[in-house]
């Protein structure tokens, strides 16, 4: 039996050796999942890298756009500041030119004054020479007074001074009973009629109004100020409108309470009045304004100071033009002042509107008046003296 069983045992090893190639090939299916997982990880890493590249590109683009916008804003601000500075330089140049012109006029007035002083000295000498002849002395005095009044009328437009000089001359001639003075008095009367027929120009009143406007410039609110203001054209209607429903609802609530003890109706009325009041307050939190010149809202404190000073200089130039009877410069400076107020100041406030109305009233004044001369009276006196 042992011999019979041995062949099978010896055969078993032979049969077991034959499937060895199958056992060695068995690990091959387990290598495929490892390669697919590696590919998935590579794909995942590639996707993450792509997302990071896109994110970095988007971040670079946003940063580049913001930097470009910031540069454009800074350039625009600098350009605005340069324009304001150029405008201020132009105004200062105009002021310097006006000052030079005024200095030349003052020099002319000084020369006229020196001439008047020399004429006064000559008149004193003439008084001494003609002390024996009262009529000649009176005529010389009248001629000198009329010449001085004519110069003031021509240079400064002093109508009242010329009228006073003519009236004094007429009084001096009226003390004499000589008929030879009638022709001189008639000439003086005609000159008086011409001066009285002139339209009156209240130069001191206009100058006082301009001084009042100049004094209010520092307190006038600018558009760049962040102070909440209430428009004068729209008074506090919301407060009145809210107060009226409150009073009416209070009366209704009292009537409802007296009529019926329904606490639910009373609570509903109170809630409605409270919600109306809260809604009215909420509507006042946000206000939208429309501004024609957005640059006026971006004024720095320094630029705001120069804007006010620019307006003062314009009004001072208008005042000087008024005193020198230069209507063209007077109109131009007032128009420029009105434009400056409309551009940089808050025209909703009562103070700014009052200033604009005052400037419009000043602009309505007429300065283009052709001043007459006193040549007829002066020639009459000189002709009378020449005939003597």
Are 342 and 278 contained in the same domain?
A: yes
Predicted pLDDT of residue 234:
42
* The pLDDT of residue 125 is above 80: no
State how far the Cα of 106 lies from the Cα of 100, in Å rounded to an integer: 10
Q: Which of these three, 157, 174, 197, is where a domain ends?
A: 197
3-state secondary structure of 325: coil
Residue 136 lies in a domain: yes
Q: Are 142 and 220 in the same domain?
A: no
Same-domain status, 231 and 350: yes
- The domain in which residue 324 lies consists of 205-249+268-282+295-363
Residue 228 sits in the same domain as residue 347: yes
Considering the domain boundaries, does residue 64 fall inside one? no
State the residue for tokens 């971006």: 298
Give the residue, 237 or 68, on which the prediction is more confident.
68
- Residue 159 reports pLDDT greater than 60: yes
For residue 80 the two structure tokens come to 């605005």
In a domain, 128, yes or no: yes
- Count: domains in the chain: 2
Pair (159, 234) in one structural domain: no
Is 242 found in the same domain as 131? no
Which pLDDT score, from 0 to 100, does residue 32 have?
A: 45
| Average pLDDT score over residue span 157-186 | 81
**Above 80 in pLDDT, residue 285?**
no
Q: Annotate 122-178 with DSSP letters as a single string.
A: HHHHHHHHTTT-HHHHHHHHHHHHHHHHHHHHHHH--HHHHHHHHHHHHHHHHT---
Check: CB of residue 229 under 8 Å from CB of residue 351.
no
Residue 290 pLDDT level (bands cut at 50, 70, 90)? low
The reported pLDDT for the residue numbered 251 is: 52
| Mean of pLDDT values over 368-387 | 78
pLDDT value at residue 10:
41
Same domain, 142 and 233: no
Of 339, 342, 340, 319, give the one whose Cα is nearest residue 329.
319
**Whole-prediction pTM:** 0.41
Residues 193 and 217 in one domain: no
Mean of the per-residue pLDDT values for the chain?
75
pLDDT at 237: 43
Rg (CA), the chain: 49
For residue 53, is it within any domain?
no
Higher pLDDT, 285 or 163: 163
Q: Do 213 and 234 sit in the same domain of this protein? A: yes
Residue 258 within a domain: no
Q: In this predicted model, which residue has the larger pLDDT, 287 or 349?
A: 349
114 falls within a domain = yes
Condensed to tens digits (0 to 9), the pLDDT of residues 27-85 reads: 444 444 557 778 888 888 888 999 999 999 899 999 989 998 999 999 888 888 888 88
**pLDDT exceeds 80 at position 164:** yes
For the chain, percent of residues with pLDDT exceeding 90: 6
In this structure, are 221 and 273 located in the same domain?
Answer: yes
Which pLDDT score is estimated for 42?
87
Determine which of 30-34, 107-111, 379-383 has the lowest per-residue pLDDT on average. Answer: 30-34
Q: Tell me, what's the pLDDT at 260? A: 47
Contact 356/341 with Cβ under 8 angstroms? yes
pLDDT band at residue 219 using 50, 70 and 90 as cut-offs: confident
d(CA 96, CA 113): 25
Query: What pLDDT sits at residue 316?
Result: 92
Least confident of 147-161, 303-317, 352-366: 147-161
Whether the predicted pLDDT of 8 surpasses 50: no
Same domain, 237 and 349: yes
Say whether both 353 and 227 belong to one domain. Answer: yes
Q: Does residue 44 sit within a domain?
A: no
* Residue 313: per-residue pLDDT: 92
Is 5 inside a domain boundary?
no
């Amino acid at each position: 039996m042992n011999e019979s069983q041995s062949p099978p045992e010896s055969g078993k090893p032979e049969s077991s050796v034959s499937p060895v190639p199958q056992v060695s090939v068995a690990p091959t299916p387990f290598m495929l999942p490892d390669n697919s997982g590696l590919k998935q990880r590579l794909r995942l890493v590639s996707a993450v890298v792509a997302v990071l590249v896109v994110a970095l590109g988007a971040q670079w683009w946003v940063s580049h756009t913001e930097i470009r916008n910031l540069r454009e804003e800074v350039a625009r601000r600098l350009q605005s500041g340069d324009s304001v500075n150029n405008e201020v330089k132009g105004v200062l140049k105009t002021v310097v030119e006006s000052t030079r012109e005024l200095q030349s006029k003052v020099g002319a007035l000084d020369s006229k004054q020196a001439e008047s002083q020399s004429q006064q000295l000559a008149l004193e000498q003439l008084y001494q020479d003609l002390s024996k002849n009262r009529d000649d002395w009176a005529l010389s005095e009248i001629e000198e007074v009329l010449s001085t009044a004519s110069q003031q009328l021509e240079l400064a437009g002093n109508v009242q001074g010329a009228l006073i000089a003519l009236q004094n001359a007429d009084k001096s001639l009226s003390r004499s009973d000589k008929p030879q003075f009638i022709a001189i008095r008639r000439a003086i009367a005609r000159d008086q009629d011409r001066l009285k027929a002139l339209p009156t120009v209240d130069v001191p009143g206009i100058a006082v109004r301009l001084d009042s406007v100049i004094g209010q410039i520092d307190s006038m609110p600018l558009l760049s100020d962040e102070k909440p203001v209430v428009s004068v054209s729209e008074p506090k209607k919301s407060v009145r409108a809210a107060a009226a429903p409150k009073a009416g609802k209070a009366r209704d609530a009292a009537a409802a309470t007296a009529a019926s003890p329904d606490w639910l109706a009373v609570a509903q009325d109170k809630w409605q009045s409270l919600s109306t009041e809260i809604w009215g307050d909420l509507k006042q939190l946000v206000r939208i304004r429309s501004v024609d010149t957005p640059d006026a809202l971006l004024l720095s404190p320094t630029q705001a100071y120069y804007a006010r000073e620019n307006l003062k200089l314009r009004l001072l130039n208008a005042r000087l033009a008024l005193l020198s009877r230069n209507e063209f410069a007077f109109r131009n400076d007032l128009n420029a002042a009105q434009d400056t107020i409309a551009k940089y100041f808050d025209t909703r406030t009562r103070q700014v509107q009052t200033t604009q109305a005052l400037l419009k009233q000043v602009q309505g004044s007429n300065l283009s008046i052709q001043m007459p001369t006193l040549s007829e009276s002066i020639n009459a006196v000189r002709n009378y003296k020449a005939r003597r």
